[in-house]
Structure 1
Amino acid sequence: MYISQLKITNYRGIKNTREINLAKFSSIVGKNDAGKTIVLNAIATFLDIKSFPITSTDFNDLNKSIDFEFDLKSENIVELLESKTKSKVKKTDGLEEFIQDLVFENSIIYKRVIAGPSKLWNKELILMNDYVKEEIQGLYFKTDEEITAIIEKNRIEIPVQGKGRNSKAEKIKYIKEYFKAEERANIWIEDDMKISTLFPDVEMFKADYGLEADTKFKTASVTEIEEYFTREQVRFQVFQQEINTEMKREANILKSYMLEYASNLKDIEITPNVSWKDAIKSVDVSFQFNGDEKFIPMTHKGTGYRRLFMVARFRYLAQKNKGNNIIYLIEEPETFLHPTAQQDLLNALKELSIDNQVVTTTHSPVFAGATHIDGVVLCSKLEQSNYENAIIGNEQEFLFKIIDELGIKPSFNLRDDFEKILFVEGQDDGTFYKLIATHLLESDLSKVLILPCGGSSVESFINIEYFKKNGRELYLLLDSDKGLKVRDPKKPILQQQIVDNFNTNFGSAYSLKKSNIEYYFHPSALKRYYFNLKDEKIEIFKDDDDLKEFFKDKGINKKHNVEIFNTMTKEEWQEVVEQELIDFLTMLK
């Protein structure tokens, strides 16, 4: 579950309601004091008010409440809601139909309201599509007697025959049929079902302390240790039994001594109260570098080192795939980092955002340039903080606003012997196309400058606009993303729009026939690389299959794609690569 949109009212520098759209990986850009951090703090407080309480200084106007309204999206939102609502609405009472009234385009819309400084919300509400007429609002929460009363009052006829004729769900069905012409609207209802317990956890990293000892890192580490204690309960029960045995032995000795003073003593029992999860109170991190005689606490090292530790930390979290339901809020992740380390951190965060959500504030062209346009938020301040997202039709205008804001200038040094420039989505894509050219065209594309541009990211538009004036022929190769059409129907359309725009305004572009480069894995290559698949029956992947679950089930790691492609023979390349792609690459020879 991740936040796709939030509305903030009367919070810090925001007076009137401001609406912000987010993606799984988002970058908020803008000048200092424009209101970027407001968004991170609002998310943190919305998800964990006990750790991020509301104070008097958080109110723009102390006489009004702070309102947070969040859209939380998930591919399996119906299953999640069913797990929380079935205690309030039984399946036989129309649970499935009830849940549909809570879901808006794979999202739930939730509001939290607070009237004064506190760690508790005054109101927690969820949006439901329901009847405007109060008499028939909340049908699924009404008792059988109330449902029967509605039927009798309105003389609603219910057939006596048929399965389920006496069930509450059946009665509600006929009530809704009778009132189908009645006006419906989206209405806020109290969250008596505790749907908020489905919300993601949150971790926030501020720019000013860069993973000091008092940051969330310690909390997260202690949490991991608690998870270990929970997971290893059987082993710790053995330890506890040994402790109890030792305490019994000590009690017997004490009893023998005490009987000298109290002859009526029958027995002594010493019972230790063991709480393994409380065994670790804090976690200290120390470094020892060349030239250090001993380990130096992280708090005694420079902020740059602490930020480098954060890079490693996020890479670890991405590898561990921790949580699957965590939102990471990171303020100015580029602070104190060398540009190459910025790129390493960026890679870690983007990998982390596959299963979680990552929201950053940044002044860095590296971060903003690698963020998909749907995840870029431009923040400005005029009387109050304002936020802007790209909308359909103004994408390029929006991108140039980002360029003006960040002062981005292209940093590529072109070598004079490059005759053509090929823009690709990522570094592995460039290797993929070179391998095809080598095997099928007997060319290494040595006269082509291949530049990863992130597809529809900010950086891609900036670079292409710049290189248009460079005098070299420009080419673009993009994934078609056909396999995402069910999960994200807009993505294939957007990719094709980019290709069409490039063909019209810049040069020659081609969208892969298959969804992305991993769809070109030859089954034989997969079986060679993954020993556990050697007996599997795997067909050549179809162009628009959704392979996410297949890859996950088979243990196929897309990070190994170059290594897999390197094992493929000329004949295998010929089987999986379409002629149109070969023709396009021929133009680059």
Structure 2
Amino acid sequence: MFISKITLKNFRCFEDEHMLEFKSGINYFVGDNNCGKTTIFKAIEFIQSAKSKEDWISKGKESEDVSVEIEFSGEDIQKLMETEKLKKYSKYVNSESKLLIMRSSKSDTWIDSRGNEKKLELKQVRVFNPETNIFENPAGIDSMISVLFDAQFVYSDLKNEDYQDFGKTKIVGKLINDITKDFQQQESWINLQNAHQEAFGENGLTPILRDMQKRIESILSEQYGETKVEFNFGLPEIENFFKTGSILLEENGIKTQVSEKGTGMQRALALSLIQVYSRIDKKIDTAVSKPIIFFIDEPETFLHPHAQDKLLSSLERISENSQIFITTHSPYLLKKFNKDTHKIKVFSRREGEARVRDGEELNLFPFSPSWGEINYYAFNIVSEEFHNELFGFLHSKISKKNKCYENGNKTVSKRITSFDGWLEEQTGVTKTDDKHINKHNNYIDKTMPVYIRNYIDHPGEDLDEGINKREKPKTSEIKMSIDFMVKLNQRI
């Protein structure tokens, strides 16, 4: 099961309504600072525990309502909903194996199965009923969210307590619980059980408390009727022992609590735990276990490229069973982008640009994604490398197709001049002007893509002095040429 869609309405920096779709593998969020990448993480927290409108509503939209709607998808949803704690909510999974939940400040009502009118407010989680086509809040649905999925967050300003918590819903707890399953069959645990029985049973604490039991029984019998009382000290579940645990880090012979370490070390521990978790994740029966969804903010922080590469490999393993969301400013983390299982969302608050757009353009080449391609589509960086990479690919593609120009009298060959002649006849091409004149062997470049390519490859040349006017291409001109070639590549 994974988050296939999130719809935000007046949620923090997302004024009005915004819908974002995701894939079950790794979802990358890229863009400038303060453009709303981690706000999507906060939307999950809103669904889980929001109590007041004021903490979440967009500035300037205070008179309106705030809401977050999440769509879960996956073939395993139905099996998950058949587990003991969720089976009474299985009717909310539609025929397409989708489950829709929402939290909203908008007041509403619905009629339950007994005909009673029920209120819907911000403090209540709502689930969409595909039979009635309305959102409802059946008994227990609020606690169902915690049973439905785990959300593990690693923020840049790390909440390190989550990675020192040994509870079974936390990563450390999951690691220990998985590794120690066989431990409960070993002699040391059995000896502890026997020792507990000895200490709290008939040979230990029980006889000491018997007199108190009788006194309580006597009072109960006099005032309420005959009643037996017994103090029972059962052995705690093994998870309760784990909760008292902590992680100590030793450096130069000195042991220190993780919480006393700097942010860099705390993040390193968090990411290390995730990587260890990736190696045992496949042992978990994901068909009946609730999914864990990871939300990692700028994982490249404090990591050199080699460490980033190792982290990425671990995240790839995790993504086989768990959905991952990553905010990043590092093109290096996108080097293994796979359009089949990954998705890129480009966030922007620049005027004239979409608030969030897909970055699925990272499939231009058979060898995609290239470094220049990543920088261009994910980080809006215009590079000479991407221009010439695209130019060479397009030239080769056109020549292999034996495209003709000049009324079919000439065919595009491996010569750049022939490609230039063909480009000149294409709709939308920018032609050279009196500031961009490049003459070589009696040939003058006709189009800006060719001019830019030649300038990049031969920036210092001025072969025919007095004729050439080789003005350096501006970034805006390189971008215009790239955009033209991308569109051209899609047409042919």
Q: Which residue of 2 aligns with 1:366?
A: 332
In structure 1, what is the Cα distance between the partners aligned to 2:89 and 2:362?
A: 44
Give the 5 Å matches for 1:341-380.
341-373=307-339, 375-380=343-348
Give the 5 Å matches for 1:135-534.
138=132, 187-190=133-136, 192=138, 194=141, 196=145, 199-209=148-158, 212-213=160-161, 215=163, 219=167, 220=170, 221-225=172-176, 239-247=192-200, 248-251=202-205, 271-272=232-233, 274-276=235-237, 277-289=239-251, 292-321=252-281, 324=286, 325-373=291-339, 375-381=343-349, 386-390=355-359, 403=376, 406=379, 466-467=388-389, 504=397
Deviation at 1:25, TM superposition (A): 0.2
In structure 1, what is the Cα distance between the partners aligned to 2:191 and 2:234?
A: 15
In structure 2, what is the Cα distance between the partners aligned to 1:401 and 1:77?
A: 34
State which of 102, 123, 130 in structure 2 corresponds to 1:111. Answer: 102
In structure 1, what is the Cα distance between the partners aligned to 2:344 and 2:210?
A: 75
In structure 2, what is the Cα distance between the partners aligned to 1:231 and 1:55?
A: 47
Q: Which residue of 2 aligns with 1:417?
A: none
Deviation at 1:400, TM superposition (A): 6.2
What is the letter of the counterpart of residue 345 of structure 2? V
Residues 308 and 2 (structure 1), Cα distance of their counterparts in 2 relative to 1, 3 Å cut = same
What is the letter of the counterpart of residue 212 of structure 1? N
Q: Which residue of 2 aligns with 1:8?
A: 8
What is the letter of the counterpart of residue 54 of structure 2? S
TM-score (norm 2): 0.57
In structure 1, what is the Cα distance between the partners aligned to 2:382 and 2:165?
A: 35
In structure 1, what is the Cα distance between the partners aligned to 2:305 and 2:292?
A: 27
What is the letter of the counterpart of residue 32 of structure 1? N
Q: Is the 8 A contact 1:5 1:21 kept in 2?
A: yes
Q: Is the 8 A contact 2:292 2:322 kept in 1?
A: yes
SS of 2:254's equivalent? coil
Residues 360 and 58 (structure 1), Cα distance of their counterparts in 2 relative to 1, 3 Å cut = same
Identity %: 18
What is the letter of the counterpart of residue 314 of structure 2? A
Residues 301 and 5 (structure 1), Cα distance of their counterparts in 2 relative to 1, 3 Å cut = same
- Can you give the 5+ residue segments of structure 2 that lack an aligned partner in the other structure? 108-119, 213-217, 219-228, 402-492
Residues 314 and 345 (structure 1), Cα distance of their counterparts in 2 relative to 1, 3 Å cut = same
Q: Is the 8 A contact 1:29 1:36 kept in 2?
A: yes
SS of 1:18's equivalent? strand
Could you give the per-residue CA deviations for residues 47-97 of structure 1, whole angstroms, max 9, x where no partner exists?
A: x32xx76562212234433222222111234444566886589xxxxx8xx
SS of 1:337's equivalent? coil
Residues 402 and 256 (structure 1), Cα distance of their counterparts in 2 relative to 1, 3 Å cut = closer
Q: Which residue of 2 aligns with 1:74?
A: 74
In structure 1, what is the Cα distance between the partners aligned to 2:150 and 2:125?
A: 20
Q: Is the 8 A contact 2:164 2:246 kept in 1?
A: no
Residues 372 and 463 (structure 1), Cα distance of their counterparts in 2 relative to 1, 3 Å cut = farther
Deviation at 1:5, TM superposition (A): 1.4
Q: Which residue of 2 aligns with 1:144?
A: none
Q: Which residue of 1 aligns with 2:424?
A: none
1:33 is aligned to 2:34: yes
Deviation at 1:215, TM superposition (A): 4.4
Residues 62 and 339 (structure 1), Cα distance of their counterparts in 2 relative to 1, 3 Å cut = same
What is the letter of the counterpart of residue 57 of structure 1? D
SS of 1:4's equivalent? strand
Q: Is the 8 A contact 1:78 1:103 kept in 2?
A: no
Residues 408 and 337 (structure 1), Cα distance of their counterparts in 2 relative to 1, 3 Å cut = farther
- Can you give the 5+ residue segments of structure 1 that lack an aligned partner in the other structure? 90-94, 131-137, 139-186, 259-263, 411-461, 475-500, 509-589
Deviation at 1:6, TM superposition (A): 0.9
Residues 253 and 353 (structure 1), Cα distance of their counterparts in 2 relative to 1, 3 Å cut = closer
In structure 2, what is the Cα distance between the partners aligned to 1:256 and 1:126?
A: 54
Q: Is the 8 A contact 1:20 1:389 kept in 2?
A: no
In structure 2, what is the Cα distance between the partners aligned to 1:216 and 1:66?
A: 33
In structure 1, what is the Cα distance between the partners aligned to 2:40 and 2:8?
A: 8
In structure 1, what is the Cα distance between the partners aligned to 2:210 and 2:98?
A: 68
Structure with higher Rg: it is 2
For the aligned residue pairs, the C-alpha RMSD in angstroms reads 4.7
Residues 54 and 230 (structure 1), Cα distance of their counterparts in 2 relative to 1, 3 Å cut = farther
SS of 2:6's equivalent? strand
Residues 225 and 8 (structure 1), Cα distance of their counterparts in 2 relative to 1, 3 Å cut = same
What is the letter of the counterpart of residue 308 of structure 1? A
Q: Is the 8 A contact 1:286 1:298 kept in 2?
A: yes
What is the letter of the counterpart of residue 286 of structure 1? L
Deviation at 1:345, TM superposition (A): 1.1
Deviation at 1:27, TM superposition (A): 0.7
In structure 2, what is the Cα distance between the partners aligned to 1:361 and 1:507?
A: 40
Could you give the per-residue CA deviations for residues 145-179 of structure 1, whole angstroms, max 9, x where no partner exists?
A: xxxxxxxxxxxxxxxxxxxxxxxxxxxxxxxxxxx
Deviation at 1:20, TM superposition (A): 1.1
More helix by share: 1
Of stretches 8-17 and 240-249 in structure 1, the one that deviates more from structure 2 is 240-249
Q: Is the 8 A contact 2:128 2:134 kept in 1?
A: yes
Q: Which residue of 2 aligns with 1:125?
A: 127
Deviation at 1:349, TM superposition (A): 1.1
SS of 2:34's equivalent? coil
Q: Is the 8 A contact 1:5 1:19 kept in 2?
A: yes
Deviation at 1:254, TM superposition (A): 5.4
Residues 284 and 465 (structure 1), Cα distance of their counterparts in 2 relative to 1, 3 Å cut = farther
Q: Is the 8 A contact 1:321 1:355 kept in 2?
A: yes
SS of 1:208's equivalent? coil
TM-score (norm 1): 0.49
What is the letter of the counterpart of residue 42 of structure 2? N
SS of 1:275's equivalent? coil
Residues 303 and 346 (structure 1), Cα distance of their counterparts in 2 relative to 1, 3 Å cut = same
